Structures are given as structure tokens and as C-alpha cells.
Amino acid sequence: MKKLNPAYFRVPVIFFIILGVMEYFIDSGDTPAFVKYPMVSVFMFVFLFLLIAIEITVTAINNITYQMLTAEEKVKVDEVANASIQDREWYQKLMKKLTRTEPIENEAGLLLNHDYDGIKELDNNLPPWWVYLFYGCILFSAIYLVRFEIMDGDNQEMELKKELAQAKIDVAEYMKTAPDLMDEKTVSVLTDPAEIAEGGTLYTTNCAACHRADGGGQIGPNLTDENWILGGGVKEIFHTITNGGRDGKGMIAWKGTLKPKEIQKIASYILSLKGSNPADAKAAEGEVWVEEVAQ
């Protein structure tokens, strides 16, 4: 096996299998487990160290044992170690089991008396791998027939429809608990002063250039008055910030720059400016916004 599976192959393979298993079983959200939990990194490091140590020890022991052998035994060991896979006993046994071929010497016994212009026919065994594959197909078709034709199992189209329906439910469920993924349908006004203050900081960095630091408006409209061009509810403001204003007006879509949660904070901050009446604010634009009570 040494030839097929050298240490520099074996060690990384085992290491990455274990790493994969850890990632699979440890729930660490979007970040890999070994980043989120330093203990995992430590463990993997120790594990790698042990693997290498074991490899070194085993190789050393093998070398010593080899040195202690007599010349004759050495030849034997070398033979086994260097034999190609086809020469191995287990391989030959396996092949024999799978094919049940008769050795060429027995050919005479297999010969049928069919003779077509000198072309003769041997009565070989059907290879077991083929026979079992065939039985498998028969079994499969029987199960398939009963399940899909008699018991009316879901066909692919039905399966797809069901999965899509389930996915919709899952997404809705996820949206409820994942604030970073909210959209204009689920957004709500924040009331926590700390979060509104964060919104204020974001506003000053990104928006003040056009809407003025106090929201009074400059290039962009006044954000402190009752009038809104694109709607003044939290959902509408969230929509405007996310997707931008009307074409050519200068208000870009911010969804590439800001996270939904940040947009929610800014929107809440803007709403907190309502009625603050900053000095020489821009004249009102748009309609007076009335929140629909029906919502």
C-alpha cells in the first residue's frame, strides 16, 4: 500500500476529512468553525502535529524492523512492498469473485459444439458483477413501478413545486429572525436611541453632502418636513434609500453600499428629524405624507 498511499498524501487527506467533519457538525453560522472558535483551530493544529508525529514514529519503527530482518526476509518484504496492485492476492481474489473467469487451460471444457465457419463459442459464466447489476435493475424497476405508477408518487414537477413552496415558507421564517436580511415589507422604525444615533453617524458620512447635516436639504430634498416625493413612511424611505430615487435626479441606490440593517437605522434617524425645522431649509417638495391607517 505504500506506493498508492504515501504519507504526504495520507496526512493531508486525513486532516481535511477531520476538518470537514468538524465544519459539518459545529454550527458556526457563516464563518468557518475554526475561525469562530479558536479552540477548534488549536485542536486541528494539535491533531496535525500528532498525525505527523505518528507518521514519523511508524516510519522509524518500520525502518528499524526492516534493518533487523535477515537478507532473505528483506527480499520477501521488498517483493510485497513493490508488487503492483494486480499482483496482490486480495486483488486477484476480488477479480475472480467479480468475473468468475475460467483459466485459459479449461477452455476445452467450455467449448460448445456450435461452429460457424470455424468460429467457435465458449460457454463462459456470466460475470457476477453483471448478473447482480441486472437483478438490481429488475428490483429497481419493480419498486419504481409500484411507487410511481401504482401508488402515484410525486413526479419531478410535483417535487419541484413542493420544494419551492417549502422554500418560500423557510425564507419567510428566516426573514423574521435575520435582521440583516429585512426588506421594505418587514422593516420597522427603530426606537432605541443608540441605534438611531448610529443611523445619524451613517447619515452624516453618506448623506449629509446632499441632504445637509441637519436634513434641511440642498441637492436632495428636505427630509425634515411633512412633504415627501417618494413617500414618508419607514417602508417608503427604506425603499428609496435601498433602490434610489427617480432616474436622473441624483439619489443613487444604496443597497450595494449599506446593509439592510444600516438602512433601517438611517431611515429611523431620518424619521426622528421630522418637524426639527432647521434654519433655511429647502422648500417642501412632493405631497404631504399621510400614513395609511389600514396598514
Applying CB under 6 A, the residues found at the interface with ligand HEC are 203, 206-207, 209-211, 219-221, 223, 228-230, 237, 240-241, 245-246, 249-251, 254, 266, 270, 286
* 231: region left, alpha or beta (phi > 0 left; psi from -120 to 50 alpha): left
Which CB sits closer to ligand HEC, 32 or 231? 231
- CA atoms of 259 and 49, how far apart (whole Å): 41
Which CB sits closer to ligand HEC, 117 or 247? 247
What are the two backbone dihedrals, phi and then psi, of residue 31, each rounded to the nearest 5 degrees?
-85, 145
Minimum distance of ligand HEC from residue 229's CB (angstroms) = 4
> Quick one: angle between helices 260-272 and 234-243, nearest 10?
130
Minimum distance of ligand HEC from residue 156's CB (angstroms) = 45
Which CB sits closer to ligand HEC, 43 or 289? 289
Minimum distance of ligand HEC from residue 284's CB (angstroms) = 9
With the C-alpha atoms ordered 44, 50, 53, 58, is the resulting torsion angle positive or negative? Answer: negative
Minimum distance of ligand HEC from residue 182's CB (angstroms) = 16
Which CB sits closer to ligand HEC, 173 or 183? 183
Minimum distance of ligand HEC from residue 261's CB (angstroms) = 13
Which CB sits closer to ligand HEC, 22 or 223? 223
Q: How far is CA 33 from the centre of its chain?
A: 14
DSSP track, 234-271: HHHHHHHHHH-SSTTSS----TTTS-HHHHHHHHHHHH
**Helix, strand or coil for residue 95?**
helix
Minimum distance of ligand HEC from residue 247's CB (angstroms) = 8
Which CB sits closer to ligand HEC, 34 or 215? 215
